[in-house]
């Protein structure tokens, strides 16, 4: 996905679609998250066009805001969940439970029972012990779930080590050899129907070749086991955070098409980041400007409690001012947050207009792994989330209060 900003300058102010972000943040305060409904749906449509015959399950871990998820479900997406909580949220967003894929490496008995009770469409199993547990529970509950085995294809993706999931040392999935043994063992099972293979080698995949390699690695299982009918290739479709060229979903589809041409496979994909990353931004307000040897340090009211990606992954997000900087002077800047950690940096080494306290900034492309990874560290209430629809907007998650910070605590005295 090449950089194509949802934000643009109009009448001297930064807009998302038809909404003035200065006016919006005047009303609800900062920090705050803003999402473009139109952009998220457009991104989903791009995937539907690239993979017209695939079943698309949006990955809730990227952004589980109910209003945004409901929009995607209404636009034809199923959901990929990695916890019982995500299953619950997906159901609250109106998804058909049969369109939920339940994945995750550490499912508890309680979570598996819940998935069986609500009737999720698929359960992706990551170990022989998990499959045995699932079969036992399914027998007790008189259910027979569809199961996909997650394979670790031992393919190293060209991405950050924390989001590479398909190499041999990763905690995810099982080997091809173990998969073959499990397929034989459960071929005639009365408790589970093992008819799918699942792979996901990582996020932010910089090339299509590693995905092709992973798919080719698991295809022999389909030749050896006629019970297999579905292949879930996961997600990983990349987003360009800083303008670099990255492969579009159509490039992945084109590379895979010859492989699938003579096979009757039910194809599934699990995009998350690609759908929502560039559909969101985080608005913060400048509190202080401090001199530094390299320029200035811009201290804002938002930081790693709102957006942990820079601290966790060294991620880079572009920053824009909410006022049009057309005629401004520029300064080398480091944008930081208020949290008591040296890692609390939103952007290093960025050239910005000369700023003053009270100015506001938009941290771009934060719709994925932004608010959903937020925390209350330093007893900071989490920010509101706003959904923009054309020239209107609504708060779809309110700002937390100090009272919310202690609402779950008990036996204080």
SS3 content of the chain, % helix, strand, coil (to 5): 30, 25, 40
What backbone phi and psi angles, to 5 degrees, belong to 220? -55, -30
Torsion-angle region of residue 202: left (phi > 0), alpha (psi -120 to 50) or beta?
left
Of 335, 304, 395, give the one whose Cα is nearest residue 27.
395
Of 30, 37, 32, 100, give the one whose Cα is nearest residue 67.
37
Residue 29 and residue 336: Cα distance in Å, rounded? Answer: 18
Of 101, 47, 54, 52, give the one whose Cα is nearest residue 215.
54
340 catalytic residue (yes or no): yes
Contacts of 231 (CB under 8 A, 6+ apart): 196, 197, 198, 199, 215, 218, 222, 265, 266, 267, 268
Residue 72 and residue 104: Cα distance in Å, rounded? Answer: 22
Cα separations in angstroms, 115 against 62, 86, 88, 158, 347: 20, 11, 9, 33, 40
Residue 230 and residue 163: Cα distance in Å, rounded? Answer: 24
Residue 365 and residue 373: Cα distance in Å, rounded? Answer: 14
> Contact 333/350 with Cβ under 8 angstroms?
yes
Of 111, 147, 143, 116, give the one whose Cα is nearest residue 131.
147
> Contact 26/358 with Cβ under 8 angstroms?
no
Pairing state between β 266-269 and 230-232 = parallel
User: Which residue among the candidates 340, 379, 407, 408 is catalytic per the annotation?
Assistant: 340
- By annotation, the residues acting in catalysis are 340
């Amino acid at each position: 996905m090449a950089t194509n900003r949802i934000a643009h300058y109009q009448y001297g102010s930064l807009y998302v679609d038809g909404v003035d972000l200065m006016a919006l943040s005047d009303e609800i305060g900062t920090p705050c998250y803003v999402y473009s409904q139109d952009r998220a749906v457009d991104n989903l449509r791009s995937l539907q066009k690239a993979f017209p015959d695939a079943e698309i399950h949006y990955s809730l871990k990227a952004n589980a805001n109910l209003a945004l998820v409901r929009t995607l479900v209404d636009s034809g997406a199923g959901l990929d969940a990695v916890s019982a909580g995500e299953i619950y949220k997906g159901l609250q967003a109106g998804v058909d439970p049969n369109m939920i894929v339940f994945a995750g490496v550490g499912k508890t008995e309680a979570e598996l029972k819940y998935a069986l009770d609500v009737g999720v469409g698929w359960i992706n199993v990551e170990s022989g012990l998990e499959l045995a547990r699932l079969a036992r529970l399914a027998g007790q509950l008189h259910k027979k779930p569809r199961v996909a085995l997650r394979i670790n294809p031992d393919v190293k993706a060209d991405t950050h080590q924390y989001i590479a999931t398909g190499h041999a040392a990763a905690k995810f999935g099982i080997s091809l050899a173990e998969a073959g043994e499990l397929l034989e063992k459960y071929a005639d099972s009365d408790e589970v129907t093992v008819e799918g293979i699942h792979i996901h080698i990582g996020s932010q995949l910089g090339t299509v070749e590693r995905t092709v390699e992973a798919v080719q690695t698991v295809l022999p299982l389909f030749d050896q086991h006629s019970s297999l009918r579905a292949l879930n290739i996961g997600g990983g479709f990349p987003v360009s955070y800083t303008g670099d060229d990255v492969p579009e979903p159509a490039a992945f589809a084109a590379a895979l098409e010859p492989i699938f041409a003579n096979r009757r496979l039910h194809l599934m994909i699990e995009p998350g980041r690609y759908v929502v990353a560039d559909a969101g931004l985080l608005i913060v307000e400048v509190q202080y400007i401090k001199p530094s040897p390299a320029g200035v340090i811009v201290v804002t009211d938002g930081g790693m409690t709102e957006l942990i990606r820079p601290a966790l992954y060294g991620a880079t997000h572009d920053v824009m001012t909410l006022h049009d900087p057309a005629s401004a002077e520029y300064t080398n800047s480091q944008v930081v947050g208020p949290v008591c950690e040296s890692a609390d940096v939103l952007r290093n080494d960025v050239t910005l207009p000369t700023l003053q306290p009270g100015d506001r900034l938009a941290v771009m492309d934060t719709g994925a792994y932004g608010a959903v990874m937020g925390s209350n560290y330093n007893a900071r209430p989490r920010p509101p989330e706003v959904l923009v629809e054309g020239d209107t907007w609504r708060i779809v998650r309110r700002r937390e209060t100090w009272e919310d910070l202690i609402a779950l605590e008990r036996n204080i005295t």
